[in-house]
Amino acid sequence: MTAAAIAAAVNARSTTAVAEVEAALARIAAYDAIQPQIWISRASAEQVLAAARAVDARIAAGEHLPLAGVPYAAKDNIDVAGFETTAACPAFAYQPEASSTVAERLAAAGAICMGKTNLDQFATGLVGVRSPYGVPRNAFNRAYVSGGSSSGSAIAVAAGLVPIALGTDTAGSGRVPAAFNHLIGFKPTKGRWPTRGVVPACRSVDCVTVFAHETADAALVDSVIAGFDPADPWSKPLANRTIAPRKIGVPLRRQRQFFGDAESEYLYNRALETLATLAEIVEIDIAPLQEAAQLLYGGPWVAERTAAMAQILTENPDAVDPTVRAVVEAGWSKTAVETFNGVYRLAELKRHADLLWGDLDALVFPTTGTTYRVAELAAAPIALNSNLGAYTNFVNLLDMAALAIPAGTRHNATGFGITLIGPADTDRALLTIADAYLAKADLASPPPLDLEGKMQTVKLAVVGAHLKDMPLHWQLTSREATFVEATHTAPSYKLYAMADSVPPKPALVHSAEGGAAIAVEVYELGVAEFGSFTVEVPAPLAIGTVTLADGTSVKGFVAEPRAIIGAEDITHLGGWRAYIAQKN
């Protein structure tokens, strides 16, 4: 379901706007049983049908509308006439007299707003859990966060309720949820899309964004929304700068942060291998970009959030989410001297960043280094949120364009993404680069939606007595383990037959030299079952992390050094079955 296809069909009168919004209403009603909390307010059926009939009348009168009959959702810090704006804070709510510029332009193009979506309160967060209206969860695994702050908008698109949805982005809020939910997240250059009628977070760096399934839809929305707005002091004349992707910058290996997430590291490296077929990959020192990122929350720019929320922080602080309040109240202590020193330092860092474009055409970073469960965020809300912004916080401060695109799926079904970053006004060029990458990458389709609540599972590689038809295989079958595949490790392991082990067991040992690919079987168990299995693993064996032949990592049997005392090196046989066959 794409916006372009819907608009084409409505313009061709092969369907109607009324039919499209009726279908959207049905999808929304069905998904309410799964995640009603993605919405803060919704249009009534009468409201959207009246808007749809007006669109059909315009088409019948001979108009061609680029978004004819396209249902969309808007993050609830963006004013849309007829809807209350809350910024996810009931005490802050107000009824706007008019739509924001972006909503006006969408309506003029024939799009129909189905409702206002949930968000991290006052757009402060990258997680999607800081809202009194409930916690939108990842559409593909509801144990995990949706990403924020544009949480509801991302889920509305990922779940197929609407083909496009508006978000906002100050520190990554239009990119992080896109990555986690297998979406395109288009974050335009500052000032390209007007922000009049948007509740500010950091007014000087805020951007309105769009979520979509395809780059073509992001381009279509950009063609409708982009353009100068004289009523917006932050708007600027439209410009389009072309770039040819000859050299792409990536972080130095020692600077890449994945926070222990080996899957994300593998998927990023795989994406770079694909990009290397399109351009030269150049490692760069990103320390200046990281320093700029720290200014957003650790420097004086946090006071800009405080300024935006000053009235409610003063008059009704208890109405503010405790985590949001803890973050934003730090701005009260920032001095004018600190602010000017921050402005000066940012200017120096921006000059450094601008000079990068003399040698590079674009940057490609992980959108995030990892993802987290909702329960994990509850335990460490600020620290883990900060981790998710490691590759996003600097972009708006340094006036860059960015486009988040899918780059793979973790075993838990959540999405991993990369972000293409370019100098200001390269928005359309980034879309072209994304198309080239996505064509080369040939990614698998997103997994099925999580409609029932997925059981959390762990993949386990077994190498010896737990293989099928071996003496201890029952320890897996009794835990209802599911067979995933028979494969091999990476060619960096040695296999030993341990001495005096009953029943006979091997020891798998990582080896930098002289290793080989060892045959293994991979099974999937529930988290609780995996825990009970691990308890029964006897020393000197242990459960660690094993790298497979395709570069992915799973849990698996490893061994302590004492395991090879008196053991027979059977690496040359390539696996335990071959050893047992030879022994018999």
Token pair recorded at residue 486: 């028979």
Instruction: Classify strands 247-251 and 280-284 as parallel, antiparallel or unpaired.
Output: parallel
Phi and psi dihedrals of 308, rounded to 5?
Answer: -65, -30
Smallest CA-to-CA distance from 473 within 576, 579, 578, 584 is with 576
- Do 295 and 397 contact (CB within 8 A), yes or no? yes
Confidence of residue 259 (pLDDT cuts 50, 70, 90): very high
| Phi, psi angle pair for 470, to nearest 5° | -95, 165
The predicted pLDDT at position 480 comes to 93
Q: Where in the chain is the domain with CATH 3.90.1300.10?
A: 3-441
The predicted pLDDT at position 583 comes to 87
**Packing angle between helix 427-441 and helix 262-275, nearest 10 degrees?**
100
Average pLDDT, the chain: 97
Under DSSP, the state recorded for 447 is P
pLDDT higher than threshold 90 for residue 1? no
Is omega for the bond preceding 149 within 30 degrees of 0, making it cis? Answer: yes
Calpha distance 95→104 (Å, rounded): 16
Nearest CA among 538, 547, 539 for reference residue 511 = 547
Q: Which of 379, 374, 382 is nearest to 329 (CA)?
A: 382
395/418 Cα distance (integer angstroms):
14
Q: Strand pairing of 400-409 and 519-526?
A: unpaired
Residue 101 has pLDDT above 90, yes or no: yes
Q: How far is CA 516 from CA 189, 481, 540, 583, in A?
A: 49, 27, 22, 21
pLDDT of residue 584: 85
pLDDT at 216 over 90: yes
CA dihedral 87, 91, 97, 102 (to 10 degrees): 0
In CATH, what is the architecture of 457-583?
Answer: Roll (3.10)
pLDDT band for position 579 (50/70/90)? very high
Q: What are the pLDDT digits (tens) for 303-348?
A: 999 999 999 999 999 999 999 999 999 999 999 999 999 999 999 9
Q: Give the per-residue pLDDT at 33.
A: 94
Which residues are designated catalytic? 75, 149, 173
CB 418 within 8 A of CB 402: no
Closest CA to 71 of 115, 39, 36: 115
CA–CA distance from 238 to each of 162, 189, 194, 227, 572 (Å)?
28, 10, 11, 5, 64
Q: What pLDDT sits at residue 50?
A: 98
Residue 396 pLDDT > 90: yes
Beta-ladder partners of 73: 115, 165
- Give the CA distances from residue 27 to residues 33, 71, 159, 217, in Å, rounded to whole numbers and listed in that order: 11, 11, 9, 20
Report the half-sphere exposure of 177 (CA within 13 A, side-chain side). Answer: 43
How confident is the model over 158-176, as pLDDT tens digits?
A: 999 999 999 999 999 999 9
How far apart (Å, rounded) are the C-alpha atoms in residues 135 and 379? 15
Cα 115 → chain centroid:
22
**Intervals of CATH 3.10.490.10 along the chain:** 457-583
Task: State the pTM of this model.
Answer: 0.90
Q: What is the mean pLDDT of the segment spanning 362-377?
A: 96
Backbone angles phi, psi at 332, to 5 degrees: -60, -30
Helix/strand/coil for 91: helix
Q: Rounded mean pLDDT of 101-115?
A: 98
Fold for the domain defined by 3-441 = Amidase signature (AS) enzymes (3.90.1300)
Is the pLDDT at 31 greater than 90? The verdict is: yes
Q: Is the pLDDT assigned to residue 94 strictly greater than 90?
A: yes
Residue 512 in this model has a pLDDT that exceeds 90: no
> 398-456: per-residue pLDDT in tens?
999 999 999 999 999 999 999 999 999 999 999 999 999 999 999 999 999 999 888 78
Cβ neighbours around 290 below 10 Å, total? 17
- Kindly state the DSSP code that residue 390 receives in the 8-state scheme: T
Please give the pLDDT value at position 397.
Answer: 98
Mind giving me the DSSP string for 105-174? HHHHTT-EEEEEE--SGGG--SSS---TT---B-SS-TTBB--SSSHHHHHHHHTTS-SEEEEEESSSTT
Taking only the tens place, the pLDDT of each residue in 118-128 is: 999 999 999 99
> Quick one: which of 207, 161, 206, 163 has its CA closest to 184?
163
CA–CA distance, 487 with 317 (Å, rounded to integer): 57
If you search the block for the tokens 């000859």, which residue do you land on? 246
Residues 391 and 289: their CA atoms lie apart, in Å, by 9
